[in-house]
Structure 1
Amino acid sequence: MNHKSFAERFWKKKRRFTPEYIYWKFRGEEHSKLDSFLIAENEGKVIGQFGIIPCLLNVEDKVYDAQWACDLMVETTFRGQGVASKLYEAAHEKASVTIGSDPSFAASKSMLNNGYVSISGPRKFVFPIKIGEVLKLKEIDNGFLNFIYNPFLYLIRCFSKEGFNRVDNKEYVNLIKRDSNTFIYCVYDQSFLDWRFSSFKSYYKGIECYVKNENTYFSGYINGRIYYITDFNCSNVRCFFEIIHFIYSKHKASPILRVKFFSNNWKLSQILPFFGFVRFRTLTQVVLYTTNQTIKKALKGKKFYYTLLDSDENI
């Protein structure tokens, strides 16, 4: 059984078993060995896979080679037989730190049993443009409410001003600020920017960057009728309203239905639910594996500054 027939059994999206997509997602070069996509075989048949996307991680202002773990899957009849553990072991040899975000319950249990530790991440939010989008989050489709605008959209419009300019990814990344005393976080070199911000055929539209000033900026992209804010910075809730209003206004010709993002700003996370934003109940779980004792010691008391720029969601 080759990889395609294995993957077809577990994923519905064709890109999951399309070689050109797999090479792109895991930052490899097509027709060459792909070290960041691990395959487990038994008697010539694929029985498991584990993807690792190369990245860089800042821990107390020291940068380490790291990798995002994703797309773990083991053939049903081989689960509980150590296949996942062997995939982890092979992956851990390739970088100082391996990290994953919001793994499924089964994957989380497996990773924690194999030496990963759990770190608190940010809150996930959705701003529904139409009231019906709130119910859709619970898989309820209400035809009437799908036509009613979120009343807080009008309040946001009152507080908003124009002034965002599109910039290239290098200029954008130079503005990014993180607090290394509070967070551990990813940093981005040029190869990451070229990969993550650029479009790739029909699979991925790429990320656009917008700046108002050195303290107010965001990046994001639209997929279907959902806008994903991959990263942002703002000094107060009014500045964030300006970001939301700019996104909504920019896409009036092809209206978006909701805006999705993660908030690493504690004060903002406390205020937004009072203005029509839906805050998810649980914090994002980030799991991390390392044998580096310096990193392990530095993890104590810190959170992970996690954004959709880091995530493999929708790519």
Structure 2
Amino acid sequence: MSPILPSPKALDLARQVLRIEADAVLALVDRLDGGFMKALRLILNCHGRVIVSGMGKSGHVGRKIASTLASTGTPAFFVHPAEASHGDLGMITRDDVLIALSNSGESVELLTIVPSIKRQGAKLISMTGNAQSSLATEADVHLDAAVAQEACPLNLAPTASTTAALALGDALAVALLDSRGFGPEDFARSHPGGSLGRRLLTHVRDVMRVGSAIPAVLADTSLSDAIREMSRGGIGMTTVLAPDRRVIGIFTDGDLRRAFATQQDLRTLSIGDIMSPEPRTIAPDRLAVEAVEMMEQHKINQLPVVDGMGILAGALNMHDLFKAKVI
């Protein structure tokens, strides 16, 4: 059997699809009005959950909108409209807001459950491509997601319409996020299992070395003893302390190489003579990603961790951050 080859016009058609869908999204900008603001107010003042529902491709878009809302501070979940009419309506209470998606606005499965939704007092936000449709006119708020044409050359398969609905859902979620003052740490709390959660929730105190694991010497320590302490610590440096345990310097492999290059009699020197004074430090309550940024910016691999008085609290190197999967 001969292989099927792409159509000669495939690339042009693909570009046309992207143009049509981009135009569909841009057209939404000028149609955002007081209805959008009313939808925001309904959701922000909702004492229950946001329920999202839709059939077919609208249902797939609805699932994504519900997921985005839930991860950005608006408790939400998806209910299949056909299942709703067979018992799942029990998931919806009078304190909830239902967002119903249908490009035509005439989805039978959605229209079947609308009377029950309204009878129990839940609010209804419709997102359709037809402001005169049954679903739009029954809703407390209608969001206009109409498109001039589908990107499908047959103008049949939901393409531009689903993209527009998805973008409108994202606009709603982000506007709600901002109105709630939802920040990075809030976002991280709903994503604790991923790399984003690790980056936003891990603090220096969670990954730093403490106690005897911190290489440390006093300023009058001999070079040979300081090298032994640095080797014991295994992080390529030792902190240098004043008698009250304030960090006054750091001694690294690089400092050792530079000391050898001076051709001094190293046997006569204390570590205070060749350390790097006033090293960069970080506080234990800073985010671990801030330590990464500092290390990368200044091209260093280690950081002493100090409290507000400059007293040694811990030590950190790049390997610790790799191990914690912050990087």
Rg (Cα) greater in structure: 2
Task: Decide which structure has greater helix share.
Answer: 2
TM interval, short-chain normalised? under 0.3
Task: Decide which structure has greater strand share.
Answer: 1
- Which structure ranks higher in relative contact order (CA pairs < 8 Å, sequence separation ≥ 6)? 1
